[in-house]
Each structure stands twice: as C-alpha cells, then as structure tokens.
C-alpha cells in the first residue's frame, strides 16, 4: 500500500485513476457517466448516500431541460418514462421526476454501465497539490481518511468544496454577499388534487393570483387537470387571498411569524409522476451566503420550522389536503447558489441576455435570469423567448488557478445573475458531461493541462448538448 503524508499523518492511497469526480449530484453523475463511457478510469466520491444531489436528496424533483439538450439528462428522462410507462419528457422544458427512481437509475448508469468506481459517505476534506497541479484528494468516510490520486479532477460539489480545499479563488453572492435564497423542499402525500382543482374552478376569486412570482409558470386549473391526465407538469401557486381569508377567520391558528411567512410567500407546489402527492417549493431562507457550516445548520432548522407551519396550514385549509400527511423533507437543503469558483472566464448575465455564442462553446442553455431575492420575499424570473439560447464557453469550467481542475454544475465560473439563469438540472448535468468528456479526451491524447484540449474534437463529441 502506498501512502501520502498530511500533517505527519500517513494516509493510504486507495485508488489511482484518470478522472476524479467530487460530488455525485447531477453534474457529478453527468461527469462520471461521460468519463466512464469514454473508457477512462473514473472515481466518484459522494458525501451522502445516493446520487443526484439536489435533484434527489434535496427533493428538487422536476427537471428543466431545453429543447436542444439531448445529452445524459435526456437519456435519464427517457429511462424514467420507459420504466413508468409515461411520457413526461414530451412536456419539456419542465419535466417532473420520481427522485427515488432517479437515484436507482443513476446507480446503474454511473456504476454498472459507465464502470465508474463510486464511494458513498465519502466527504472530500482536502487535496495534495504541487503548484498548479492537484495530485490527490483526501476523502473521509467509514474507513477514515483515504487518498485518491488522479490526473484530472472535476469539482461537482455544488459548493466548490474540492476547489476551495485546494485554495482556488471564488466568489459568493450578489453585491452584498448574499446568494439567491435557498429552499427546504418537502412532499405532501395523500392529496386529492382533483378536489383542489374543482374548488379552484368553483371559487376563482379565492384562488386568484396576487403575486407575480412564477408568473411564467401560471397554469389555469383546467390546464392543470389536463396536464396531470397527460403526464405533464402541473403547477399551483399563490393562494394569498385564501391565506388572508383563513387568517381572518382563525386569528389564533397561526402564530404572527407563521402568518407573515404565509402571506409573504403564499404556496407553490407541483405534481409528481407517482400517485396523489405534491412537491412543495414554498420555504425561503433569507440572507444566506452558502459558505458557512453554522449558517447551513441554522438554515435547515429554520427551513423545517417553515415546512411544518406551511403543512399545518395546508392540511387545515387547502381543499384536497384534509387527509394528507407530510411525506418527507429534503435530506439536504435546496441550495440555489453558494461558492462560484473563478474560472478562466467568468460567464455573465450580459452573455445570457445577449444570447452570446462562443467559439469554445461546450453547452447551450435557454434559461433566463431567475434570482430569488436575498430577503426571500420575491423572485425575478426572465424568459429569453422561444427558441432563443446562449452558449457557455469551455473556459468557464476551468478553474483559473489550476491546470488539471474542472468546475462543473452550480459551482462553475459565473457571476451571481448568470448562475441564476444557468443552474437548471439538465444544464448542470451537461456541464458535467462536458467536463467528463474533456478529461477523457485529454487522457487519451496524453495531455497534462486542461488548456491543451483540441476544442473542435471536444465539440464534436458534445454535439448533443451544444
Ligand atoms: C429550491 C430549488 C429549486 C430548483 N428548481 C429547479 C427546477 O425546477 N428545475 C431545474 O432543472 N433545476 C432547479 N433547481 C436547480 C438545480 O436543482 C440545481 O442547480 C442543480 O441540481 C445543481 O446540481 P449540482 O450537481 O451542480 O450540485 P448539487 O445538486 O448541489 O450536487 C452536489 C453534490 O456534491 C455532494 N458534495 C458536496 N460537498 C461534498 C464533499 N465535500 N464531498 C463529497 N461530496 C460532496 C453533495 O452531497 C451533492 O450530492 C432548483 C434548485 C433549488 C435549490
């Protein structure tokens, strides 16, 4: 057994691979599948106990996917449809998924099919580097600290944990240092959705929308009924007039802060592929940066408080929820934004809004700016117009301070507003796919620097996502 020595401690080297993927969220899964399929030795370390990250463990089980994305995300959605005998993908760009099925399918795609070595319960805690090159990462899990050597590293931890441990430069938040506010997602089971839709039709005044949050997602009750019958995304939002009415009728039911929260945010929930349950996206944690463990703990505690208050209201007063139960909350916080590692290029909102195309394009995307205000009170969501898209350049997945480190998924190099546009699940998966494909190509070409890529050859391999 070979060892590395860190602070006088001998740590065993348990694997030596071509490509190391940090974090097994959608970006990490995309990276591992792409690298593994390309035939290079790949290792993925995930601190939790399932693949998918936010999409599965944080219960953000609805994939936004552009019409031009025919990459690994589309493949996953086709598999889910085939297994469920459903046709959800036809409803892109918003596709509800079953998070449990996705976890299971990703296990297969990453391990059995792509042949990557996967370690769950493995947190990246450090790196060994020389100058601009990382040689090993240190993971910590059931076996204690272990080292893994690799030629290329892809940080898909969302928070940029590998790059941060390596000392890479990064940015956090907006001009005041705050990130888009996070959400603790939760699901409610045993909901009579048809009853809700009928009530909404019968009492249009009580269910009229007051907020313009998610105005792009406004769907009429009749259309929601049709969508549910036809395996499509259904979205219910606002409910402010109902909340105001119930607070008036039952002044002691909610505490003052619960009332304030409910009136501020209203309710936002959507359908899921399996059975009579809904996914709720109503909680918001204000003034969150995303780079501090105490802040994260406090956010989860506050999020759970909001979940239980919201559920209490829904069960008591929203038609169709009378016999419902709280199924689960995300086993991780739904973090929209935290560290953004600085790359050779910082992708900007100007690039998004001007639908910029790049010579070194690796992925295209269609998302407009979607900033969840730092105070958690409002959402700005722009649409770019049907058929419009922009490119993301290869340089924005290269960590500027290193020669063998990619950053893929929501920690890629972007400014605050640009990240808000380009962090949807299928897109993060595509960034991972691009980084995994690039790493494999470099290995095969015998190159030692991410900047020595043959970009045209890479773009040919990435045609399905550009
Ligand atoms: C509330 C909310 C609503 C959203 N709505 C939508 C939507 O409707 N549609 C859509 O497409 N997208 C949506 N998004 C965006 C999307 O879900 C995320 O941007 C995307 O899933 C991020 O994927 P990722 O792989 O980059 O990061 P993550 O999902 O954060 O994955 C990172 C992974 O790395 C692991 N990890 C972290 N640190 C370490 C470490 N030190 N060692 C080992 N492993 C580590 C984590 O456990 C995790 O599994 C939403 C996000 C949120 C939070």
| Contact call for residues 183 and 303 (beta carbons, < 8 A) | yes
**How confident is the chain (466 residues) per 10-residue block, as mean pLDDT?**
94 98 98 98 98 98 94 98 96 95 98 98 97 98 97 98 98 96 98 98 93 75 96 94 97 96 94 94 96 97 98 98 98 98 98 97 93 88 87 98 98 97 96 98 98 98 97
Our answer on whether the CB atom of 338 is closer than 6 Å to any ligand 1 atom is: no
| pTM assigned to the model | 0.97
**Does the CB atom of residue 425 touch ligand 1 within 6 A?**
yes
- Cα separation values, 317 from 303, 320, 408, Å: 21, 9, 43
Q: What's the pLDDT score for residue 262? A: 95
| The pLDDT value given to residue 215 | 66
| pLDDT computed for residue 216 by the predictor | 66
Report which of 317, 309, 278, 313 is spatially closest to residue 190, judged by C-alpha positions: 278
Phi, psi of 352, deg, nearest 5: -65, -55
Residue 217: the pLDDT is 75
Q: For residue 28, how far is its CA from the centre of ligand 1 (angstroms)? A: 10
Rounded to whole angstroms, how far apart are CA atoms 147 and 414?
A: 30
Alpha carbons 259 and 247: distance in angstroms, whole number: 7
The CA 414 to ligand 1 mean position distance, Å, reads 16
Interatomic CA distance for residues 146 and 141, integer angstroms: 8
Mapped onto helix, strand or coil, the DSSP state of residue 237 is strand
Ligand 1 pocket check for 376: Cβ under 6 Å: no
**How many angstroms does the Cα of residue 57 sit away from the middle of ligand 1?**
9
Is residue 349 lining ligand 1, measured as CB closer than 6 Å?
Answer: no
Answer yes or no: is the C-beta of 53 below 6 A from any ligand 1 atom: yes
Rounded CA gap, 288 and 44, in Å?
Answer: 28
Mutation choice for ligand 1 from 26, 48, 60, 307, CB with most ligand atoms inside 8 A: 60
Ligand 1 pocket residue status of 161, Cβ below 6 Å: yes
Q: Is the CB of 232 under 6 A from ligand 1?
A: no
Is any ligand 1 atom within 6 A of the Cβ of residue 46? yes
CA 327 to chain centroid, in Å, comes to 21
Q: For residue 290, report the phi and psi dihedrals to the nearest 5 degrees.
A: 105, 15
Q: Work out the end-to-end distance of the chain between its first and last CA atoms, rounded to an integer number of angstroms.
A: 43
The CB of 336 under 6 Å from ligand 1? The reply is yes
């Amino acid at each position: 057994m070979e060892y590395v020595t860190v602070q006088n401690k001998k740590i065993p080297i348990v694997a030596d691979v071509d490509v190391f993927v940090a974090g097994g969220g959608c970006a990490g899964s995309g990276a591992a599948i792409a690298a593994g399929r390309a035939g290079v030795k790949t290792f993925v370390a995930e601190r939790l106990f399932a693949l998918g990250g936010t999409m599965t463990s944080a219960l953000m089980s609805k994939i936004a996917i552009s019409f031009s994305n025919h990459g690994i995300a589309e493949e996953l959605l086709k598999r889910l449809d085939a297994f469920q005998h459903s046709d959800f993908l036809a409803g892109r760009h918003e596709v509800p998924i079953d998070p449990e099925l996705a976890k299971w399918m990703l296990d297969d795609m990453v391990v059995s099919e792509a042949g990557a070595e996967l370690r769950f319960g493995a947190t990246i805690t450090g790196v060994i580097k020389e100058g601009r090159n990382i040689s090993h990462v240190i993971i910590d899990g059931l076996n204690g600290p272990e080292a893994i050597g690799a030629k290329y590293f892809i940080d898909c931890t969302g928070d940029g944990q590998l790059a941060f441990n390596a000392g890479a430069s990064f940015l956090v938040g907006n001009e005041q240092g705050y990130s888009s506010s996070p959400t603790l997602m939760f699901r409610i089971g045993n909901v009579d959705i048809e009853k809700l839709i009928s009530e909404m039709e019968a009492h249009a005044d009580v269910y009229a929308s007051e907020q313009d949050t998610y105005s792009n997602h406004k769907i009429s009750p009749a259309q929601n009924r049709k969508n549910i019958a036809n395996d499509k995304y259904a979205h219910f939002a606002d409910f402010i007039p109902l909340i105001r009415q119930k607070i008036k009728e039952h002044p002691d039911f909610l505490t003052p802060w619960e009332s304030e929260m409910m009136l501020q945010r209203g309710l936002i929930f959507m359908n899921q592929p399996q059975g009579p349950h809904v996914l709720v996206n109503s909680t918001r944690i204000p003034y969150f940066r995303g780079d501090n463990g105490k802040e994260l703990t406090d956010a989860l505690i506050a999020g759970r408080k909001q979940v239980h208050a919201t559920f209490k209201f829904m069960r008591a007063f929203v038609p169709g929820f009378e016999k419902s139960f709280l199924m689960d909350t995300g086993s991780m916080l739904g973090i929209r934004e935290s560290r953004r590692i600085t790359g050779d290029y910082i992708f900007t909102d100007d690039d998004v809004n001007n639908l910029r195309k790049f010579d070194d394009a690796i992925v295209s995307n269609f998302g407009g700016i979607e900033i969840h205000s730092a105070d958690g009170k409002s959402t700005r969501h722009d649409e770019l117009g049907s058929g419009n898209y922009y490119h993301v350049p290869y340089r924005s997945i290269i960590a500027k301070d290193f020669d063998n480190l990619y950053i893929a998924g929501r920690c890629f190099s972007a400014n605050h507003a640009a990240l808000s546009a380009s962090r949807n699940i299928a897109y993060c998966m595509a960034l991972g796919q691009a980084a995994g494909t690039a790493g494999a190509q470099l290995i095969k070409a015998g190159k030692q620097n991410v900047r020595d890529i043959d970009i045209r050859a890479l773009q040919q391999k990435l045609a399905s996502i550009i």
